[in-house]
Amino acid sequence: MSEGPKEQGNKELAFIGRLESLLGHPVGNEHWIGDDAAVLDASGHDKVLLTSDLVIEGVHFDRSISSPQDIGWKALAVNASDAAAMGGRPWRCVVCVAGANSDDLDLLYEGLLEASAAYGCPIVGGDVSDGALLVVSVALLATTEGATPVFRSGARCGDALFVTGPLGSSAAGLRELLSDKAARGPRIEAHRRPKARVDEGMAAARSGATAMIDLSDGLGLDLHRIAWASGVGFDLDTVPVFDGATHDEAIGGGEDFELLFTAPNEKDVRAAFHAAGLRPPIAIGRATRDKGVCTLSGAPLEALGYSHEIS
């Protein structure tokens, strides 16, 4: 046996040494952590999806509200959600962490590994470094399992518009936590442990979805993103509001991570979700010819939602 880095008394090396045992064994002839890059077996995958997102202290989370476990979960789940929004299934990911102390690293990885297990997406490599702020960056590969990926640009006039669940839960949960850090319940859970709608995205893709996006920045903004990309408008009849959230939180709150998608045939969509044992998607409106124009019950719906300000 080689002398291991554990004996060097350096905590970064020691953590990476422990990580190798935490992350489990590579599949088949793959080779994961311990080298400069992970080796993945891509044979059998014609198409792969690649996405990356980072979460940074003070922007994507507040450490007085979110535990390191929650931050780890979220960092991976938001990437799984991006894959879901294309109809993809998370496959492999790598994680970089900066600015975590040794205790936080363990807890952060608890959450990362919970999400990794929940989405069947092994962490195959990563890096740890110093930093004055906590940053967690995840890059994720997904597979389409032979299906055609769904873009934002395919919505056509007349398509039905669906959302996979009621909205505003995360924003409502954050509001509750800001007034009472001990608050508990489904909105708090939605804020702390957002779910990526992977099975829903695949069901939507299989049932003819023409455009899809995950609601990371709020319905107001993300709906317009589909409208702009597809060259259509949308007339909404209704916005389903999560129990205990406000109408504004449902439209502008963001971080719901429900999927918003269009499809020409509502029956096919309902059948696919039913066959997959999923909660039925909610039809909320339809695509129109009015390029970029979105309305709710006839009144203009502005492109408002969370967006990062660059000074």
Q: Is 186 in the site for a copy of itself (CB under 8 A)?
A: no
Least CB distance to a copy of itself at residue 142 (A): 7
Q: Answer yes or no: are the C-beta atoms of 163 and 238 closer than 8 Å.
A: no
Least CB distance to a copy of itself at residue 68 (A): 13
Q: Answer yes or no: are the C-beta atoms of 140 and 92 closer than 8 Å.
A: yes
Q: Is 161 in the site for a copy of itself (CB under 8 A)?
A: no
Nearer to a copy of itself, 132 or 299 (CB): 132
Which structure tokens are listed for 294?
């979105």
Tell me how far apart the alpha carbons of residues 280 and 37 are, in angstroms, rounded to a whole number: 41
Least CB distance to a copy of itself at residue 97 (A): 9
Footprint of a copy of itself on 264-303 (CB under 8 A): 291-292, 303
Of 19, 75, 85, 209, which lies in the binding site for a copy of itself, with binding defined by CB under 8 A?
A: 85
Radius of gyration of the chain measured on its C-alpha atoms: 20
Of 124, 161, 203, 205, which lies in the binding site for a copy of itself, with binding defined by CB under 8 A?
A: 124
Least CB distance to a copy of itself at residue 111 (A): 18
Of 26, 231, 244, 264, which lies in the binding site for a copy of itself, with binding defined by CB under 8 A?
A: 231
Q: Is 182 in the site for a copy of itself (CB under 8 A)?
A: no
Nearer to a copy of itself, 101 or 297 (CB): 101
Q: How many CB atoms lie within 10 A of CB 215?
A: 28
Q: How many CA atoms lie within 13 A of 143 on its CB side?
A: 14
Nearer to a copy of itself, 31 or 270 (CB): 31
Of 82, 200, 235, 258, which lies in the binding site for a copy of itself, with binding defined by CB under 8 A?
A: 82
Of 115, 87, 84, 94, the closest CA to residue 52 belongs to 94
Of 27, 62, 120, 129, which lies in the binding site for a copy of itself, with binding defined by CB under 8 A?
A: 129
Tell me how far apart the alpha carbons of residues 194 and 190 are, in angstroms, rounded to a whole number: 5
Nearer to a copy of itself, 41 or 243 (CB): 41
Tell me how far apart the alpha carbons of residues 226 and 154 are, in angstroms, rounded to a whole number: 8
Of 100, 198, 203, 272, which lies in the binding site for a copy of itself, with binding defined by CB under 8 A?
A: 100
Sequence-separated (6 or more) residues with CB below 8 Å from residue 99: 57, 129, 130, 131, 132, 133, 134, 135
Tell me how far apart the alpha carbons of residues 214 and 91 are, in angstroms, rounded to a whole number: 18
φ, ψ for residue 190, nearest 5 deg: -65, -35
Of 19, 23, 38, 250, which lies in the binding site for a copy of itself, with binding defined by CB under 8 A?
A: 38
Nearer to a copy of itself, 247 or 291 (CB): 291
Q: Is 311 in the site for a copy of itself (CB under 8 A)?
A: yes
